[in-house]
Amino acid sequence: MPLLTVAKIQSLKPRATVYRVTDNGGLSIEVRPTGSKLWRYRYRYFNRANMIGLGAFPAISLADARQARDAARALLRSGRDPSAERQAEHMRRKLATTNSFEAVARDWLEVKRHEWTSGQFEKELARLENHAFPWIGKHPIAEVGVIEIRPLLTRLVKGGHIEQAHRLRHELSRVFRFAVALMAATHDPAAALRETLPARPKQNYAAITDPAQAGELLRAIDGFGGTFPTACALKLSPMWFVRPGEIRAAEWQEFDLDAAEWVIPASRRKLKRSQKESARTLPHVVPLSTQAIRILRELHPLTGHGRFLFPGARDSRRPMSENTVNAALRRLGFDRDTMTGHGFRHMASTMLNELGFNGDVIERQLSHKEPGVRGVYNKAEHMPERRKMMQAWADHLDALRAAGDKVVSIGRKRA
C-alpha cells in the first residue's frame, strides 16, 4: 500500500538535514532544510543504483509523481535507462531551440551576406522577418512542413502580392536546403509548394514610346511645380535613361562637367557583389549632352555643397526616396500603367532603335550585358558613338517637346 498521502506530505516539516519519506515502487519525497519538497525516483539499471528527480511538490502532485514513476518503470521494463532517456530528451529540446527555423535562417543569411550588397541582405532579412519569423520562427526547423508554410504564401497571394509570394517560397526553400546540409532537417517542404502559386505577373514597366505622347510627357515635366531638385531629376531622367536607383543616388563627385561625363562607379551598378568589388569591373559612363550640363549647372548652387545631386527632403545626408520620380509622374497625371521612372529606359531603347542607332551602342549605354559567348569576349565600349548618340537623343527630346501633335523624326542615323 502507498505510504504517502497529500495530508502527510503537507505535514512534513524541514529539519537541519535533508531527509526522505518513501511511498512505494521507488518513489519518495525529499524534504530540504529550506522547506522545499522534491520528488525522487530510485531504481537500478544493470545492477547499478540511480536516482532521478520528478519535480517539486505541490507543482507536481502526488498523483502526477506516481504517474511519472510508472512511466520510468515502463522504460526500465523495455530495457531503457530513464536517466539516459531524460538526458536525450533534454538534448532534443536544446537542439530544437538551437535549430529553430529563425536560428537556422539567420545562420544562412550570415553565410550569404558576403555575396550580397547590404541592400540585398536587408531585403532578404526583411522578407523573412515580415512574412515568416512571426509564424514559424520558433518552430524546430525539422518540424516545419507544408502545413505550416502554405498559410504564409496564401496570405501574400490573397493580398495580391504574387511576386512576393514566389520570392518568399524561393527564399524558404534555400533556408531548408541549407538546413538539410547541416543535418538540421531532412527535406525541403517549400519545394513542394512551387506549383501551388499562381503564375508570376509579367513585370513590364509602363513606358511611353509613341513620339507624340512622349512630347506631351516632356512638356508636362517642364511644367512640374514641385521642388527644384525633383524637377531636375525629372528632366534628366529621359536624357540619361539610367536605372532609377543610379539617378536618385547620383553624387556630385561622379561628374566632370568639363569632360561632359558622368562616371557611375562599379559599386553602384546593378551587378553581383563580387563584380562590384572587383577591380576589373569598369564603371558605367554616361556622356553628358549640352542640355544635361545646363541643367546640372543650374542645380549645382542648390545641392552642390553636399554629396548628392538629389538629396532627401528630410535628410540631406541621404538621397531622395526611390519613389520620388514615380510620385512626381503620378502628380503630373501619368499613372503607373502609363509611365514609370524605369520606363524612361524603355522609351529611349525603343525610340533609338526605331531611329536607326546601332543596337550595340544602345545596349552599352543601357549598361546591359550581352548574352552568350559574345558577351564574354565583346568588351567594346563604343564611346565615340555613344557621345554622338546621347547628344542626338537630347536634341530629339527637344524636338519632341516643341512639336506638339506633329510627328518628329531625326532620320535614320548610324552612330
* Residues with a known catalytic role: 243, 272, 342, 345, 368, 377
> What is the rounded CA–CA span in Å between residue 161 and residue 157?
5
Sheet (strand 37-45) strand order: 19-22, 27-31, 37-45, 48-57
> What is the rounded CA–CA span in Å between residue 125 and residue 235?
35
> What is the rounded CA–CA span in Å between residue 240 and residue 8?
90
> What is the rounded CA–CA span in Å between residue 267 and residue 279?
10
Where do we find the cell 500603367? 337
> What is the rounded CA–CA span in Å between residue 171 and residue 153?
12
The grid coordinates listed for 43 are: 531504481
Burial of residue 325 (number of CB atoms within 10 Å: 0-12, 13-18, 19+):
buried
CB distance 385 to 189 below 8 Å = no
The grid coordinates listed for 246 are: 543610379
- A 10 A CB-CB count for 28 gives 23
The grid coordinates listed for 56 are: 517539486
- Strands 37-45 and 27-31: what pairing? antiparallel
> What is the rounded CA–CA span in Å between residue 202 and residue 166?
13
Q: In this structure, what DSSP letter does residue 205 have?
A: P
Segment (H or E) for 220 = helix 211-222
- CA quadruple 323, 169, 104, 177: dihedral positive or negative? negative
> What is the rounded CA–CA span in Å between residue 197 and residue 381?
42
Question: Rounded to the nearest 5°, which phi and psi values hold at 383?
Answer: -60, -45
> What is the rounded CA–CA span in Å between residue 31 and residue 15?
8
Residues in contact with 319: Cβ distance below 8 Å, sequence separation at least 6, in sequence order: 248, 249, 250, 308, 310, 311, 312
